[in-house]
Each structure stands twice: as structure tokens, then as C-alpha cells.
Structure 1
Amino acid sequence: MIPARIDSISITTLEEKGEESIVDWFDQHKQSFYPLGWSYLRTQQQMEELFYRSIIKVHKELPRFKRETAFETRVTSIFIHTCRELSDNRSLQSSEESEPRQDLFKALDQLKEYEKEAIVLTYVKGLSKEEAAHLLQVSVEKMKEHLFSGIQSLKKEMGYGSALNGCKEYHKDYIDYLERAMDRSKKVDFEVHIYHCQECQEDLASFQDVMLTMLNLTERIEDFHVPSDFIENVKDRLAEKEKHRQLKNKKRKRMGIVFASVFALLMGIEVFTGSFTNLYYTWTEEDQQLRAFLQQDLGERLNLEAESDGVKIKIKSAIADNVQTLVFYEIEDTAEDNQYMMNYHEGVSVENEHEIMSRESNPRYYPPDLESDVNNEKKNVYQGKISLLPLTKENGTIKLKITKLQKLIRDSSDRNGLRSYENMEYETGEWNFEIPVTKQPSIEYVLDEETKVEGIPVRFDKLTIAPTATILQYAIKNEQTEKRIDFLNIDNLEVNNKKVKADMYGSSSSHQDMNWSTFQTQFDPLFGEKPKEINVQFESIYLTVQEPKTIELDVSRGYPQTFEYAGSTISIDKVEVGQPTNVAISNHEIENRAYESLQFQIVGEDENEPSSMEMNSEGVLVDKNGIEYDTDEIPVAYEELEQPRYFETVQSVKLDGNNAGEKVIPKRLEIFGYNTTKYLDDVVKISLD
């Protein structure tokens, strides 16, 4: 039976248990995340807001988590992004700082952002340089440079002088030497130089003092006091949010009849005027999607402008409904030939978000449009759109603040058309807008259709037609113990013979009611369609299959050894007892393989004393046609592949004992089941007559 520990259960299980399981995970790991938050923030109010937002974001992002990435690594990344958002949010800052923060982290505030984050992740969170480099999306060598310059800056704060005074050509070796990670021949040369250079001796000694202070910080973190009621306060806020959501759903009234009546009335008045409006926008608006909104009178031209350091941003229009607030913009670099786009998670914020916007949904992600004629016409102009949260009021003014823009660097060697995210560049400045918006009504249609996929019931509940998106809500009944559907991927939706593709970034889980798990899939908008016939085209399902098997492990035996499972021959490559203990299993044969990944755990000799287990994997992407893509060798445009599957080829486990110095001796490998993708071509027909 799977132990009741979140470290060793699957992302799927977390999704099924809901937000409560994420809260429990943060409760178990608060001792490492709490001081990490204090390195960015100033008040207890901000800290509670940090955990509150992080729990919500992790829960909503779970369907997008990659199984090849450690869960804690992905959570830490979200946590850091939230820290950045709150540290930049002046509305949550206070002139009174909490005492523990003044004592422990005041010096870190003087560092540059990249220096601070390198030091915080290494010495506060206690990550390895490789893990920290992965989170910050830099190389390990660049990570060492950031650590060096950070410690250099801290020397001044700690009274050692304003700069390092040793020989610059040896600065890059300080950290490796002090951490005993230097090659022997290089170490000898370094020590010979230090022996003959008095300045380097003094410099290295002061550098070592600061570095030891930071290393001791990791031990001090264990004694960092987390208030006893801290997590309970966060839980209370989450409970209040859920209560508010339920009350709002009960009070929500449908606007369908009103919308249809008003629309019919408007269409009946001055047919000539309406025709002229359509023709006018056809002549004057380049963006086809915005043109369609304007032609349907679902928005208005704004042409708000702001400029900073030669970069001009124009807000062209904003369309709001119950799904999102869609902002169309144009960015022009008046000084150079650069194109920039807005990134919701990097330097874009709504200062009055709490007053006018709903926090019950996530903004939709729109990738950069590099194919449109308008974005290829000029090298210094980019037209795009960004999704913000939906409005809670019928009318309002969005106070949009932009402090950072993402630079679009087209790279012909990258199949994505953009340089990889680890090399992203940004333009900073300050652009402020007050955007007037009116929320447009949406129409909801109750569906009453049920089918079965792999013998599992799938129920279609509701179709929402909003101005900016079409949303299909459905539920999956997972009451079987031997097999369940984790994800159902829909290819397209056809309404009244008009077909719209599913949005790759627009699927999400909603809630769970008894044995039914509810999901939503977003599609492009269907303006003014009154559905009569609906066809839902399935694409694939992602299954969890329960098929238990136990393999005894004996550290005295030689490895590798093999065993049979799910029609495949799997190799146990190594079982190495140490601190940590390492176990690796592999299967590089993927043709006709029944599974994509295994769900398992390693049980030690002391079965009643669970150890910490960290899992990592290597794998290969395979599209529907059987073509393989090695993600480590070439950039892969995932969204361009036809229904890709990710096969794990190597799964590695690190086991640490609960007590310092304790070694975990593996006793057996327990496999619970596996995950697999099955392609579908089913079409479900729904009639609303």
C-alpha cells in the first residue's frame, strides 16, 4: 500500500485530493520554504499572502507539471516567482519590518537580484548548485559566478572592505577550492600561488569567513521559528475563498436571454449602420481577432499610449467577460529594431486587481504570434494580446502597470522560433495605463450526454459561449480500482458545422464531486452561435493502470539485474547504499511498450520509518507516427508535434534517512502500476433541439 506521504505519491493523486493535499505538503515543508519567503518579504502579512497564492498556483498548475521534473523543484519555482511578485507589490509592503527578518536577511537586500537568488537557493533553501542553476535557468558555471559576486558584495556589508583584493585570475577558483571540488593538479597550482601571494592569502581568508557564515545559515534555518498558527491562518483564507466561490455560483444568474434580446434589437436598428461598421473595421484594423470583436460591438478602440526609454506601448482595446479580460496591445521600439511582448508572470500587474477582478480562475496563456504578417512586416513593432483575470463588476477601470517586457529573439536553429527560455532577455521601464472595460455577457447551455471511454463513464455537463472563449465542461467517473482516466484530451469541437480546435494551454481541472472529477477545455470563440448540434472529437486519454508487482532487493547481489513487467523487460541498473542511497531502473525499448512511466516506491529495512525519496527521470518524446525526439540534443517544439508521448527510459531514486548520518538499505521495489496514453478517434454527438 502506498504510504500516506506526499513526497512519494503521484501528481495525479494530488489532483484528485485537491487543494487540501497541497496545503498538507506545504505544512510538511514549511521549515524550508518559510525562511526562503523571508529573504524576499518584510511582513507576516506578506508571508501569509505568499503561501496562500503559492498553494492556489500549485493546485492550478498541477495538470501542466512535467513528470520528468521533481515535484519540489516545480513547486520551488512557483514559490520564487510568487516571492518576486509580492516583493514588487508596494500595496503589500509595510514600513515596519518583522524583527527576525532584520536580523537574518537585511544584508541580502543589498545584493543584486541574481546574486541574492543564487545565495538564497544555495544557503537558505539548501539546494545543490545544479538544482539552483536549473531553477534560475542558468548554467552551473554561471551559478558559481553569481555566488562569487554575491559573497563579494556581502564582504562589504560584513565589514571586510568594498572589494576583493586578490589576483582576479584566481577568483573563479575560490568556491571549488573551499568546497574541495577542485582537481588535484589544479589544486596544487592554486595552493602554490596562495603560498607565495600575501594578498590572495588575506583575500581567500576573508572570503572563507563570509562563505562559512553563509554555510552556517543553512543550519540556523532549522531553528527559524514558524508561528504555530501560520498554516492555520492560510487554511482559513483558503476556506473563505472556497465559501465565497460557492456563494457566488449560487447567486450567478444567466444572461443568455437578455444578451440575445439586446443583440437582436441592436441588429434590427440601422442595418446600414451595422454594415458600414463592419466595412470600417475591415479597412482599419490589422489584427483579425480584434477586428472580429469590434465588428460585433464587443469592444471599442482605446489607443492608450505610454512610453519609457524609447519603447512605446499602445493599448488598442480590451474585451472582458466571465472567462478573462483580453487586452490587445502594440509595442514599438522607436530607437532600435527590437520586438517585445508582455508576459503576465514577468513585470505585468494590475494594481487594483483585488478590487475589480476575480481570483477564481487563471489567465489564459497566449504564445507569441510570430507567423502573422503584421509581426513580420516591421522589425521594431509587435502586436499581441495578453489575458488578465475576469472582472467581478459589470464596469471598471483596470490600473495596468508594466515594468518589464520580454524581448523576442528569433532563432532559426530553434524549432520554436524563439531562443530557449534560459536565455530570455528583458527590457525594463515603467508604463502605466488606466483601461476602461465593460464586462460582456456569456451564455451557458446545459448538456445532458454521457458516454464511456475504456469502459469509464464520461459526462458532458455544460457549454459556455463567451465573447473571448468557448468552454466545454465535462466530468469523468473514476470509481474503478484497476484503471482510471487522468486526462481526456479533446481535439476539436464542432458547433452548427463550425469547428474550433482545443486550446493546448486552456485545459484545467475544476473540482471533484463524489466519484466524478470535473474538467474544462477551452476553444476559440464562437461569436453569437446558438448551438443545435454539437460534435466532440476526442484525441487521446492518459491512463493510470493498477498492476502491482514486488521485486526483492539484495544489496549483496550484483547489478544490473532484470525482471518482467507489463510485457517489458526492465533492468535494475544499480542499488548503491550510502548517503544518499541510489537506485536506478531503466527500459530503453519503447516500441510497442505498454507503459510510459512507472509508479513505484523503494522500501527500506525499517519499514515503519519512511525515508525521504527524491525521484528523477530521463526519457524521450515520441509522436503519434513513432518519430523519436531527444529533448537533450535538439530543441523540440512540443506544441508542433502530433500527439506526443513521453516515455521514461531511466528512473533514478535517492533515499535519505530521517536522521543525520543514517543510511537507507533498500529491501524491495514495490510497483503499484503505470501510466500510458491511448489515442482515440471517438466522436460524441450532442443535440440541443
Structure 2
Amino acid sequence: MIPAKIEPISITTISKKGVDSIYDWLEKHKQTFYILGWSYLRKQQQMEELFYRFIIKVHKELPRFKRETSFELWVTSIFIPICRELSVDQGESEPRQDLFNALDQLKEYEKEAMILTYVKGLSHEEAAQLLQVSVEKIKELLFSGIQSLRKEMGYESAFNGCREYHKYYIDYLERTLERPKKIDLEIHIYHCQDCQDDLASFQDVLLTMANLSEKMEDFHVPADFMENVKTRLAEREKHRQQKNKKRLRIGMVIASFFALLIGIEVFTGAFTNYYYTWTEEDQELRALLQQDVGERLNLEAESAGVKIKIRSAVADEVQTLVFYEIEDTAEDNQYMMNYDDGVFVENEHKIMNTESQPWYNPPDLKSAVNKKRKNVYQGKLSLLPLTTDKGTIKLKITKLLKLIRDSSDQSSFMAYDNTEYKTGEWNFEIPVTKKPSVEYALKEETEVEGIPVRFDRLTIAPTATILQYSINTEQTEKRIDALNFDNIEVNNKKVKTDMFGSSFMNAQQVMNWTTFQTYFDPLYGEKPKQINVPLKSIHLTFEDPKTIELDASQKYPQTFEYAGSTISIDKVEVGLPSMVVISNHEIKNRAYEELNFSVLGEEENEPISMEMDTEGVLVDKNGMEYNQNKIPVSYEEIDQPRNFITVQSFRIDGNSAGEKVIPKRLEIYGYNTTKYLDDIVRISLK
């Protein structure tokens, strides 16, 4: 195993000398971190990026270092998250040691537990501290990781020994098991052949790990590796100094003008709305500022030639909305933030409601401000709602999504196979105050396609209007999965549906009723008297069971009738994998959009691993077809699209023993479809 302990370091020395001192320290201990980095990454270029970010991050976080924690453990806690970030999208791998290839087969947390314990050489307590889990959880992860590696080494995937003794294996082989338990285990093993076999194979895996780890001691860091990192640090310092020389100077005339306007505001209170009308181009943010539910922030951070400005933040019971601007200072590129993809809140669990879900905000390239400059993009980011009345959001950004305009339509965004990212590090501390919401009970019930639907509550919040409704689930043969609205009208004022923040399901609140919420644009404190809810469409599921026998020895394609359609079984093949393909390319007047089915083998209850691929055609309300498999399709621009699945392919990798599965039955449970509506539910609160 590689050395785990690193000699103490003078924190005072590092603080005085800065980045150069951290580089010098890392130069002395590069091997241990280089090996740890290769456990996550697969390319030399990523390793250089890892060390560069690591040095910058350690320098920035140094004032927060607590001396009661070992310096090694503290810097490792910084090193691992950067490894995770860079390991998300790696592409093809460069040649790596056998140990790394073996560990790649494990689940993420199993792999990390194995790396920290058997490659880095940390104790269970130290590994648990780094992964923020209990010591017992670390042992569970080590056990399951070793079990997975056993399979790779040719052993059976499952242990056959007595389950109550599994928890002692690791401590026993590491010679840390308490003496009474050790004696009990040894007596049991003496009489139990299955446990003997299990423990022997378990020990084989650990010995293999130890042998591979010992070989890593001869693993050398490339000669030019640290020099490349040093060159990047020098370029960063040069850029920082150039940046400090550029200062924006505000003219005395402008300053005097705004001083005059501020004076008018103090005496009359009449300037605020006009001020935001003149100065704020983003209409949504302008409205929030005019309603006094948000304020300008103008927080800035710059990294890798890209400047990010946090323009404002508005928090309520629904979400925390952050308005931002991203400027590429070196090239003509536009970037956006994508939550949970290089963008996260470091103190999320402390100040936010983690049981909620953040909304997705698609890029808006049609707005005038985003058409004006090729290197500047203004957008918004939805974060979780606050659990406190006030707070400071610690927003960390390590990756930005590059916006690539469709060459045929400069207002459209393409994010298909050409996805590109900009990496760097931008950190913000954003002060927010949660604004109140107002709830109104509705108590209105109607029927849609013969199924009771109840409208329960309307919530008016600063960032959104929320309609809560419930659908009755007593009917089993037909049910409504989703109810879609085009807009909602409150006191003759229409607000649009939020396409990406709508119709997510809450937990069932009353027996036989399932509760949903749909989000609309904000109404800004409007007190509702009359509410009109236009129903646009519903998504239905029908239960209509049918069993089709399959026989791989027969010739295919073969057909069968279902839901008024003729469906073709194109392929039934046995192998590793086995394949079943069904299709129906006739979509005109078709009752279903997608079939719900599974493929069963000879043993009906035998667990098998399956993957399904689909092909389909989008059809809008007017009957226009869009082949989503041939051209990029902008769903939000299609008028109420229906997705007709034309081909469904099942790939069956095998049963739990890794054996071939012979497809015997096609078990159809039912189907899904969409129906368009033209009804309005009218609710009076007078």
C-alpha cells in the first residue's frame, strides 16, 4: 500500500508564501496524491487539471483549516470532491494499472471506500470522516466491494456462508476483531465449510488488493507533470495581476445624476418603478424588483477567462431564484449554469429544504439581451427553497454548459451530441431573505373523462403561482397520470404554465386520491376572486392485459392484434444478450402511444437484467409529424405533442447466474395515451 501518513507542515509558512508554498509541499508528496487521482481519472490531462485545481483550492480554504484535524486528512477532503467532479465525463481511457481497472467495476461509494482503505491506507475512522458516513457504513461498503471483486476474480457472486458472521470478516482479517468474537468466529468456521470457503475467497481478494497496492509504490509521476502544473499557476497569477489593473471608473456626471435621483426617492418614494423600468432589461427580474421582492446584488467571480455575476436572488416557499450573467472575456462564447452539473450549494442541507426539487430553466436565446452580445448570457437558476427566514447561500460552480446556437435558427439551442463545457471555479456567498406566500382553499370538484378531479388550493408566491389538485385513483382499468393546463386566469389576468416546473406528484395525502401541483408565472400578490382553469390535455393509462407466447425457433416477423392495432413481433433471438423487438409504424387513429409490457423467460419469477430502446414519432395537435430519431426536435415549440412509440427493443443480458434467458412470453399490462381537452373549470372565491 502507498504511504498513508505525511509529515506535519508549517501552516504559517504556507500562509505567508501562498500558492508557491503549497506547490512546493505537493511536489514532495505528489506520488500519494497522483496514485489517488488515477483511481478516479483516466487521462493525463485531467490529472494536471486536478493538481492545478487542488493547489488553488487548498490556498483558498487554508484560513478555515482547524489544527485539531490532521493536515493530510484535511487536504484529502479537498482533493476527493475535485476528483469526483472531473471523473463525470471522461471519454476514452489512457492505459492504467490493473488495480484501477478492477476498482472501476465497483459502485461509486464502494470504490471510494476501497481506495481510501486499501490504496490510500487510511483507517476506517478516517475513511468514514472523508465520506461523511459511519464506520459501520464503511465496513458495509468494503464488504460489498470485496464481494463484487470476488465475482471479477471468478468466484461466485454471492456468499454461501452464514450471514450473521459476514460482519466479522473484515475486522478478523485486519486483526482488529475483539477477542471473544474472534474465538466465536474461529470455532464456527472450524465446523462450517461454507464459511471457510467464503472467508478464504474474501482473503484472496484482500491479498490481491495488497499485492497490487504494493506494486503502486514503484509507480512514478511523469517528469514534466509538476512543471506543467506550475506553468498553469504562473499563467493564472499573470492574468490576476492584469485583472487588478483594470478598474471601472464612474464619471462624476453619472454619479451626480444618480445622487439626485436617490434624493428624489427619499422625499417622494416615486422613483423605484421608473428606475427599474429604465435600467433592467430582463423583464422577469424587472417585475420582481418593482414589486420589492428582490434586490440587486452584483456579486462577481472570475475563473478560466469567464466572469460570472450574480445579479439578484429571490427566495420564497417555492424556490430560490438566482439571476446571473456569464461573460466570456477571451472568446465569443455563451455559457449557462446547470444545477447538479457542476453547480451546487455547499451548505444546502443546512439552509434548504432537500425534500423539494429544483426547477429546470431552459436557455433563453430569443431574449433581446442574449442576442445583443455573443460573449454574454443572462439566465436564471432555480435552487431549493429555504428552511430559514434568512440565510447565505454558498454557491460553488465548477462547470458551465456551452450554448451552441442552431445554425438554421439562431434563437434555438442545440445540446445533443455536441455538448461542451467550460471548467473553472467560481464561488459566491449570496444573501437571501425568504418572502411570504399566500394560500387560498378552493374546494372545487369535477370529472374529467369520467374520473373525479378535485382542485384543492391556489398558492400565490413571489416567484410562482401554484395550483394544487388531486385525481381519484379508485378506477383500476383507467387512470389519469397527468392533467395539463395551458394557462390559468385569475381575476381576468392570465398567467402561463411553467413547462419545466409543472406537474410533479406529491405523496398521496388522502386515500384513493393522488395530489399534483402545477406551476404558473407569478401574479405578484393578486387576491383571487374568480379563477378559470382551462384544461388542455390529459395523459391516460389503460389496463388491458394480454399474453403473447414467444418461440425463438419460429420465423419472425409475426403479428398479433391489440387495442385495435396490428402489432409486429420483428425479432426473437436467444443469446447473451437475448433480443425481442416489436413494432407498429401505423400511428393514424392509433389508440395507444406506448405499450407497457415485459418479456418473461422460462422461470417467471427469475430476476433478469433488461434494457429497452425505443424509436418514435412526435405528432402535434394538428397532425404534423416530427421524427425525433432523425432530426433534433424542440419539444417546447411543438403544439401539444404526442409521442407515438413505433419500435420497442428489449435487450436481455441474462439471469442472476449470468446464463442465457430464453424469451417465452410477451406480457402486456396496458398502454398509455393522450387526449386533448377543451373544457374550463370555473372557481369562485367571492
What range describes the TM-score normalised by the shorter chain of this pair? 0.5 to 0.7
Q: Name the counterpart of 1:412.
A: 407
The answer (yes or no) to whether the contact 1:540–1:680 under 8 Å persists in 2 is: yes
1:304 aligns with 2:247: no
CA distance in 2, matches of 1:607, 1:436: 57
Is 1:424 aligned with 2:419? yes
Q: 1:384 aligns with which of 368, 379, 392?
A: 379
Is residue 2:523 matched to residue 1:509? no
Structure 2 regions of 5+ residues with no counterpart?
A: 1-37, 42-56, 102-147, 168-264
Residues 146-185 of structure 1: matches in 2 within 5 Å?
146-147=92-93, 149=94, 152-154=95-97
Q: How does 1:589-608 map to 2 (within 5 A)?
A: 589-608=586-605
Q: For 1:162-561, list aligned pairs within 5 A.
A: 217=152, 222=157, 273-413=268-408, 417-507=412-502, 508-512=504-508, 513-561=510-558
Task: Please give the per-residue CA displacement for 1:113-154, whole angstroms capped at 9, x wherever unaligned.
Answer: 87x66xxxxxxxxxxxxxxxxxx6x9xxxx5xx13x2xx243
TM-score (norm 1): 0.63
Q: Summarize the alignment of residues 1-12 of structure 1 with structure 2, pairs less than 5 Å apart.
A: none
AA matched with 2:351: I
* CA distance 1:554–1:299, change in 2 (3 Å): closer
Task: Please give the secondary structure, in 2, of the residue aligned with 1:503.
Answer: coil
Aligned partners of 1:400 and 1:370: how far apart in 2?
24
Deviation at 1:440, TM superposition (A): 0.6
Q: Does structure 2 retain, via aligned residues, the 8 Å contact 1:458–1:474?
A: yes
Structure 1 residues not aligned, in runs of 5+: 1-37, 42-87, 103-107, 118-135, 159-212, 230-269
Cα distance in 1, alignment partners of residues 656 and 355 from structure 2 = 41
- Please give the alpha-carbon distance, in whole angstroms, between the structure 1 residues aligned to 2:416 and 2:159: 34
Divergent runs of 4+, >4 A: 38-41, 88-91, 94-98, 108-114, 155-158, 213-229
1:369: how far off? 1.4
**What SS is found at the alignment partner of 1:360?**
coil
Q: SS of 2:660's equivalent?
A: coil
Instruction: State the structure with bigger RCO (CA 8 A, min sep 6), 1 or 2.
Output: 1
What is the CA-CA distance between 1:596 and the residue it aligns to? Answer: 0.7
Rounded to whole Å, the distance in 1 between the matches of 2:315 and 2:396 is 18
Equivalenced residues, count: 473
| Contact persistence 1:476–1:516 (CA under 8 A) | yes
Distance 2:595 2:533 in 1: 31
Partner of residue 569 from structure 1, selected from 566, 570, 573: 566
1:515 CA displacement: 1.0
The amino acid of 2:315's aligned partner reads A
Query: Residues 185-228 of structure 1, C-alpha deviation per residue, up to 9 Å, x if partnerless?
Result: xxxxxxxxxxxxxxxxxxxxxxxxxxxx9998486894799998
The structure-2 alpha-carbon separation of the partners of 1:350 and 1:672, relative to structure 1 and needing over 3 Å to count, comes to closer
Residues 629 and 427 of structure 1: CA distance in aligned 2, closer, same or farther (over 3 Å): same
Q: Is the 8 A contact 1:494 1:536 kept in 2?
A: yes
- Which amino acid is the alignment partner of residue 293 of structure 1? L
Distance 1:220 1:664 in 2: 22
Secondary structure of 1:569's partner? strand
Among 575, 579, 582, the alignment partner of 2:579 is 582
SS in 1 for 2:296: coil
User: Structure 1 residues 436, 613: CA separation in 2 closer, same or farther (over 3 Å shift)?
Assistant: closer
Q: 1:420 to 1:341 in 2, by over 3 A?
A: closer
1:492 and 1:218 mapped to 2: Cα distance? 59
Per-residue deviation, residues 336-355 of structure 1 (Å, max 9, x unmatched): 22222222122222222222
Helix, strand or coil for the counterpart of 1:643? coil
For the pair 1:628 / 2:571, whether they are aligned, the reply is no
Contact 1:111 1:153 in 2 (8 A): no
Aligned CA distance change for structure 1 residues 39 and 334 (closer, same or farther; 3 Å):
closer
Contact 2:552-2:663 at 8 Å conserved across structures: yes
Contact 1:602 1:666 in 2 (8 A): yes
Secondary structure of 1:680's counterpart equals strand
Q: Which shifted more, 622-631 or 662-671?
A: 662-671
Is the aligned partner of 1:640 residue 2:640?
no
Query: What amino acid maps onto 1:303 in structure 2?
Result: N
Change (3 A) 1:317 1:607: closer
CA offsets, 1:409-428, max 9 Å, x none?
A: 22224787223243222222
Q: Residues 555, 352 of structure 1: CA spacing in aligned structure 2 closer, same or farther, 3 A cutoff?
A: closer
Q: Counterparts of 1:608 and 1:426 in 2: how far apart (Å)?
A: 44
Distance 1:376 1:571, change over 3 A: same
Closer, same or farther: CA 331–473 of 1 in aligned 2, 3 Å: same
Q: What's the CA shift string for 1:320-344, capped at 9, x where partnerless? A: 1111111111222223222222221
Does the 8 Å contact 2:487/2:534 carry over to 1? yes
CA gap 1:450/1:597 in 2 versus in 1, 3 angstroms: same
Asked if the contact 1:415–1:635 (Cα under 8 Å) also holds between the matched residues in 2, the reply is no
* 1:549 positional shift: 2.1
- Residue-by-residue CA offset, 1:392-447 (whole Å, 9 max, x unaligned): 11112222222222222222247872232432222222222222111110000111
Give 3-state SS (helix, strand or coil) of 1:598's partner: strand
Match of 2:114?
none
| CA–CA distance in structure 2, aligned partners of residues 570 and 272 of structure 1 | 76
Displacement of 1:613 = 3.6
For 1:573 and 1:652, locate their aligned partners in 2 and report how far apart those are by CA, in whole Å.
9
Question: Which residue of 613, 616, 623 corresponds with 1:616?
Answer: 613
Tell me, yes or no, if the aligned pair for 2:333 and 2:375 is still in contact at 8 Å. Answer: yes
Aligned residues with identical type, % of pairs: 69
1:652 and 2:649 correspond: yes
For residues 40 and 502 of structure 1, the distance between their equivalents in structure 2, rounded to whole angstroms, comes to 42
Structure 2-normalised TM-score? 0.63
SS at match of 2:391: strand
Distance apart, 1:670 and its partner CA: 2.5
Look at both structures and tell me which one has the larger radius of gyration over its CA atoms. Answer: 2
**Bigger Cα displacement from structure 2, 403-412 vs 314-323:** 403-412
Q: CA separation in 2, counterparts of 1:588 and 1:215?
A: 46
Q: Over residues 614-673 of structure 1, what are the superposed CA-to-partner deviations in whole Å (9 max), with x where a residue is unaligned? A: 333221111111111112211111111111111111122233553546333333322221
Aligned partner of residue 286 in structure 2, secondary structure:
helix
- Separation in 1, partners of 2:625, 2:341: 33
Aligned equivalent of 1:688: 685
2: CA distance, partners of 1:157 / 1:667: 40
1:501 shift after superposition: 1.3
